[in-house]
Structure 1
Amino acid sequence: MWTQLKQQFWQGRAVALTTFSIAGFVLALRWAGGLQFLELTALDRFFRWRLPEAVESRVVIVAIEEADIQAQGKWPIPDRAIAQLLDKIKSKNPSAIGLDLIRDLPVEPGNEELNEVFASTPNLFGIEKVIGGAYGATIAPPPQLAEQNRVGAIDLLLDRDGKVRRGLLAITLEDGQTKESLAARLALKYLEDRGIEQEVVDGDAGEVKLGKALFTPLNANDGGYVRIDPRGYQLLLNFRRRSCTQEPCSRFPTVSMSEVLEDRLPPDFLAETGGTGFEGRIVLIGSTAPSLQDRFFTVYENPLAGVEIHGELTDLILSAALDGRPLMQMWSEPLEVLWIVVWSGVGAISIWVLRRMRWKLVGFVALGGGLALGSFGAFQAGWWLPVVPALMGFMGSGIAIAGYQLYLEQKERQTMMNLLGQQVSPKIAQQVWRDREQLLKEGQILGQKMVVTVLFSDLKGFTTITENIDPETLMFWLNDYMKAMSQIVLDCDGIIDKFIGDAIMAVFGVPIPRTTEEEIAQDAQNAVCCAMKMAEKLKQLNQEWYEKGFPTTAMRIGIATGVVVAGSLGSQQRLNYTIVGDSANVAARLESFDKSLDGGICRILISEQTHDYLHAQFPSQLIGLAQLKGRKQPMNVYQVPIK
């Protein structure tokens, strides 16, 4: 019991050490930013895999396409054309209009007309760019709209790989002034018309309630991000996946500038907006022409125009506030650390517990797939979990434990081979290796009581042979004999216990204990069969030796069946697998019993118990009741004749 407890303690220690070591490495790598690219790539993949969602047509886009620029004959589009476009849209009673076009300076002709439209359209919002430096130069808003505080910022945040995944609701400047984004201005105007206003829940944490949604700003280390600049009120964009039948796939109901000016709204646009066109909706006007290079990479394969990204952020606010659509949420850092440690432990434990390689692979794939699918399911519900670090911890711990187990197996195999060497056949070696956990304890094969059959063989007249042959020839001759006889023992599922000069001691029924009478009988029959094959082999060897001028010989074999204790004997420096018990002595005494009793080339004597297990499978004859040397009680001795 103490041995088992000790073994379990060391096994548990190995699993725990592996779990925390791998988890610590993954967490350190993550903290250093080494996993941010992989985590963001996994996030992109989840966005592309998510189920398609229908987009509420609260936001529509009036796109300025290449054909519109060519129709106007110049870029920027003249103010008069923009004024006409705004008049057309305003007449359809939209909830709000976002003009995503730079108008810090007049673009004649028509500037006065445009200013009149600006003044007469209270739900119209222009744009400005307030963040400079790495994000480009700042751009002033249209003066007329700035005076009326109807301007929104269009600044976009780029991750290190150049993709837009975050959106800004508000920007705080160095002078403490706060600028709301265009998307925020448009969404708040839309919600205000419906009696929904923002409510500050926790000013320190930046929590704001808006309709059905609770908005919380993104922090520097949220999700897979590592030490990003968290200034401003940032949100992780929750891009929808739309099911499109044609390309390009518009994120929102879209119509071109020319189609609006010419009063020819397409049927599919009207169908998407319920036949009302712009009424009661947010209208975003902006360029989608590739030549203007106002496109940005996002989680999707194809880049989006800037106006589409502003539409995404506007839709995110509206769908969260009105429909309760989940905002992307992340766990706190302690929970993420626990998640990674737990999956590191799952990887280590699963590989340790599942012993067979087939089940290791099946379990490893199933658990890893479950982690990925579970993380994707959580993503569908609006949670960004650290799937990449968890998978790395899971796989790293599993591989480390598998490597450790391989090391232990090699060590155990070496121990087993050191104990058994070339004593067993491949068949028995496979059985021993299969049951090694029951056999090996602390580097030794523990002694087990079992019923075995022992075979003891010796050559007749060996002493005389050694006197008449030189040592070198004797060694060659004896090795020739030993190799042949050893192979026969192995072929008959026995093991070589030891060589004693010219004598061979073999055992049948070890090291796996026999549990049935049929198995014990089979061992006895294998031993007798082995003896008869040894006799046949000796005939063949004698013929070969005679032709080479070597001496010929005969042999005696004793076989006994009974209870012994089998196990490793010796010290750590020198261990041997052997048996201890009366049956070994009986077999040796039978071999040396009454040497005048002839048996031809091989005399085979067996004990009464061995004879009973033969079940008449081999011919035998009773020699009689004999008093074997060293034994008090006489026993019946049988001979198996050799033809």
Structure 2
Amino acid sequence: MGKLVGLNLGKGDLNRGFPSVTVQLSEDDNSTALQLTGSLPASPELIALYKRWQLLYKLIYESLYPSGCWRNHEIDEAIEIDEEDITNVSIIEFGILCNDLQNSINCWLKSESFRKIDQKLRTKLATTDEIKVVLQSEDDRTRRLPWHLWNFFEDYPHAVVCLSAPEYEPIKSLKKPSNKVIRILAILGNSQGIDVQKDREMLEQLPGAETIFLVEPQRRELDRWLWDKKGWDILFFAGHSSTHADGETGKFYINQNDSLTITQLKNSLRAAIKRGLSLAIFNSCEGLGLACQLISLHIPQMIVMREPVPDLVAQEFLKHFLEAFSEGESFYLAVREAGERLQGLESDFPCASWLPVICQNPAESPLIWSEKVKETSNIYNKILPNKQIIGAILMTTIAVTSGIILVISQGILQFWELQFFDILMRSRPQEKPDPRILIVTVTEADVRSQSPQERGGASLSDRSLAQLIAKLEQFQPRVIGLDIYREAPVKADYPNLASWMKKSDRFIAICKASEDEKNSGVASPPEVPTQRLGFSDVVPDPDGILRRHLLAMAPASPCSTDKSLSFQLATRYLASYGIKAKLTPEKNWQFGNIVFENLESDSGGYHGIDSDGHQVLLNWRSATSVAPIVTLKDVLNNKLTSHLVKDRIVLIGTTAESFHDYWDTPYSPSQWPHKPMPGVVVQAHKVSQIISAVLDRRPLLWVWSKGGEFLWVWCWSLIGGVLAWCNRSVLGLGVALTLTLCFLYGSCLGLLMLGGWVPLIPSALALLTVTTFLLAYRFYSRNF
């Protein structure tokens, strides 16, 4: 530790006070940098509070766990209540008592006669210092107080309190054997009602440790091992123990019939300490009595539990302490961290974090789990794979990845990749409707409300269209797109409509290019010039689902435009921002700084698709509504308002099922019953994709190059190899695989939200294939 604070309370007790308190602040070299004196007043109420705390602690645990799971041999005996007749144990009352005890301790330590010591220490210590506070007192009740509740330890996160005898001296040690590993003598004593096997498993897994286990030994056997000439670094005990009422003596149960005190092992323990025994851990109940006896032998460090400890709490403390200590954390901070982590158990085990206590010989240095020990660790040798294993993993992952990339190139996985693309698309959070677009739909009811003679087989008559345009124009939309075919000219009865369609620079109409001899296409309205036409053609995937956005293509009769309706509408809208569309040298369309890169025939999960024209992946906005929607009836009945229309893109199209303008999308399977999306809504998604990418920097969907795909799939195959190598049980491997597949799905979903469509099925296949192969290799090869 960086700093040593010796807090000597001198003679006195809580009833009479401590008239002479001395504090010494030392550096690492034990040179005294500061000495302070003061006093502490009497505080008999602390005695009463702590005694009541002990009583309620035992009563609560007895009521919560009546069957017993304690490391105290005498816990099953009836608890005698001398001063109070408590018939009702309250967790709430116990919590209040804990707060009262903490407040009382801090109030006592804030007394005027001690405050100057506290303040002076704080001026000399930094919150980043590692601080060892060694408490010396002749009063047992004072030593038993939970000193870690002092606010000083909250303000200094690297400070630890240790108990010490008033008198101490350095050990006159024999020449310590040069052990390359930490030697541990582990006594697994009487385990009736508890599980000390967990303690054993943790000790067996320690890196760089040689552990000798004595399971319920006889006294002679224990004594003989303590005298071992190789010496010990750690003495460990797990089992039942207890402290006598005087607080000065304790005993631990080495087997079902025998218990020992430290005095009964004094000679062998003294010999072990001289040969290097640095740390004793009593992972059992009420160890302060044992500590008092063992401190008199000047052992460097001890860890004990101040009160009866539940079995699970003892196991959790040991696990966290050994993890931190063996990974290089200092002894004191490892104890503090392990104790603080017990707080997570306190909903079931109140005050669990109060239990661990360090006892210290200030004249001795703590045990350090050295780097040399780590390098010779048995577990390290188990974990570090040999060159043959590394070679097997690398060869397997590269071979499997290459095979899967070959399978992808043949289009075998395209169907499944597209299905999971749809699932990921549906899993994304819903986006708000685009406020720059308004959809006007012609419903089945709107169609029936119009005269069949006026409609002439169309969904929207000249009369209705003229009325609709007049209603919209009064609110000044930015651009109007008509997603309804009109091959016939406007009737002579509506000259204003014909003139508007011919002259308005913010009106875009549609036509459809012929696909083959059977699908001859649809011509454009005679009144609309070519520069204000947009084609309605789409490029569905082989399964009939729309996932691509066709921006432009070579014009084909009878549709004489090379731009899509969505392209034309977005271009007109963005022109008001001074943004124009242009072709890059690579023949990609660019709006401002945003480039819409063309799909190739084998982009992403695709294989051999028709990539003619300028196609990009369609980044759908929402499964519910891409923009506000009103019906033709709403508009004609004057339910339209300026804020819905002004400066917006207005799309007019039919949703009447009798006109069959519906398309399957990635969202269609999520609708029940199966419900495709109206064509006008699809057009709104396309328009929104363009203007949102340019104005809002909403991501366009992108795919990796073939090299990037190979690296991505190889990484997941490598993860599969690591899982097969690290997991020694099929069940553990199954759990790890499940969690990894969930992480893979989450990664693909997260990347899709950022615009990236990355391989999911190939990665999962690589992960499972490599794991299966290496698992079989492990079972059939002794070298794994």
Q: Indicate the TM-score class for this superposition, using the shorter chain for normalisation.
A: 0.5 to 0.7
Does the 8 Å contact 2:438/2:648 carry over to 1? yes
Q: Does the alignment pair 1:179 with 2:546?
A: no
Aligned counterparts of 2:518 and 2:746: Cα–Cα separation in 1: 37
Aligned counterparts of 2:637 and 2:549: Cα–Cα separation in 1: 34
* AA aligned opposite 2:471: K
Does the 8 Å contact 2:489/2:527 carry over to 1? no
Aligned counterparts of 1:355 and 1:134: Cα–Cα separation in 2: 65
Match of 1:57? 435
Match of 1:346? 719
- The Cα shift of 1:197 comes to 1.6
1:338-487, aligned counterparts within 5 Å? 338-408=711-781
Match of 1:161? 543
Match of 2:602? 221
Match of 1:577? none
SS at match of 1:57: coil
Change (3 A) 1:177 1:108: closer
2:667 aligned residue (300, 303, 318) = 300
Q: How many corresponding residue pairs?
A: 393
Q: State which structure, 1 or 2, has the greater radius of gyration over its C-alpha atoms.
A: 1
Change (3 A) 1:230 1:178: farther
Aligned counterparts of 1:250 and 1:14: Cα–Cα separation in 2: 52
Does the 8 Å contact 2:434/2:626 carry over to 1? no
Does the 8 Å contact 1:83/1:117 carry over to 2? no
RMSD: 2.9
* AA aligned opposite 1:262: N
1:24-43, aligned counterparts within 5 Å? 24-43=402-421
* AA aligned opposite 1:363: A
Aligned counterparts of 2:486 and 2:582: Cα–Cα separation in 1: 33
2:467 aligned residue (57, 81, 84) = 84
2:480 aligned residue (63, 74, 97) = 97
1:123-142, aligned counterparts within 5 Å? 123-133=506-516, 136-142=519-525
Aligned counterparts of 2:637 and 2:503: Cα–Cα separation in 1: 22
- The Cα shift of 1:168 comes to 1.1
Q: Which has the higher contact order (CA 8 A, sep 6+)?
A: 1
Aligned counterparts of 1:95 and 1:113: Cα–Cα separation in 2: 20
* AA aligned opposite 1:239: W
1:191 aligned residue (574, 578, 582) = 574
Does the 8 Å contact 2:588/2:614 carry over to 1? no
Aligned counterparts of 2:522 and 2:714: Cα–Cα separation in 1: 48
- The Cα shift of 1:177 comes to 8.2
Does the 8 Å contact 1:104/1:141 carry over to 2? yes
Aligned counterparts of 2:561 and 2:771: Cα–Cα separation in 1: 50
Does the 8 Å contact 1:87/1:117 carry over to 2? no
Runs of 4+ with deviation above 6 angstroms: 174-178
Aligned counterparts of 2:401 and 2:582: Cα–Cα separation in 1: 41
1:539-550, aligned counterparts within 5 Å? none
Aligned counterparts of 1:133 and 1:91: Cα–Cα separation in 2: 42
- The Cα shift of 1:113 comes to 4.6
Does the 8 Å contact 1:212/1:322 carry over to 2? no
* AA aligned opposite 1:264: K
- The Cα shift of 1:42 comes to 1.0
Does the 8 Å contact 2:536/2:565 carry over to 1? yes
Deviation per CA, 1:476-507: give whole Å up to 9, x if none: xxxxxxxxxxxxxxxxxxxxxxxxxxxxxxxx
Change (3 A) 1:184 1:344: same
Match of 2:626? 251
Change (3 A) 1:108 1:164: same
More deviation, 321-330/339-348: 339-348
Match of 2:710? 337
Change (3 A) 1:218 1:135: farther
- The Cα shift of 1:107 comes to 6.7
Aligned counterparts of 1:316 and 1:134: Cα–Cα separation in 2: 33
- TM-score, normalised with respect to structure 2: 0.47
Q: Does the alignment pair 1:241 with 2:622?
A: yes
Does the 8 Å contact 1:212/1:320 carry over to 2? no
Aligned counterparts of 2:643 and 2:506: Cα–Cα separation in 1: 18
- The Cα shift of 1:25 comes to 2.5
SS at match of 1:310: helix
SS at match of 2:599: coil
Aligned counterparts of 1:91 and 1:316: Cα–Cα separation in 2: 27
- The Cα shift of 1:262 comes to 2.2
* AA aligned opposite 2:411: G
Does the 8 Å contact 2:744/2:760 carry over to 1? yes
SS at match of 1:125: strand
Match of 2:527? 144
- TM-score, normalised with respect to structure 1: 0.57
Aligned counterparts of 1:135 and 1:27: Cα–Cα separation in 2: 38
Aligned counterparts of 1:184 and 1:135: Cα–Cα separation in 2: 27
- The Cα shift of 1:185 comes to 0.5
Aligned counterparts of 1:344 and 1:299: Cα–Cα separation in 2: 28
Aligned counterparts of 2:561 and 2:590: Cα–Cα separation in 1: 19
Deviation per CA, 1:266-292: give whole Å up to 9, x if none: xxxx5xxxx512110010110011221
SS at match of 1:143: coil
- The Cα shift of 1:115 comes to 1.4
- The Cα shift of 1:131 comes to 4.5
Q: Does the alignment pair 1:263 with 2:263?
A: no
SS at match of 1:406: helix
Match of 2:141? none
2:686 aligned residue (313, 316, 319) = 313
Aligned counterparts of 1:123 and 1:25: Cα–Cα separation in 2: 54
Match of 1:428? none
Structure 1: tracts of 5 or more residues without a match: 243-248, 413-435, 438-643
- The Cα shift of 1:404 comes to 2.5
Aligned counterparts of 1:102 and 1:173: Cα–Cα separation in 2: 17
Aligned counterparts of 1:389 and 1:296: Cα–Cα separation in 2: 28
Match of 2:425? 47
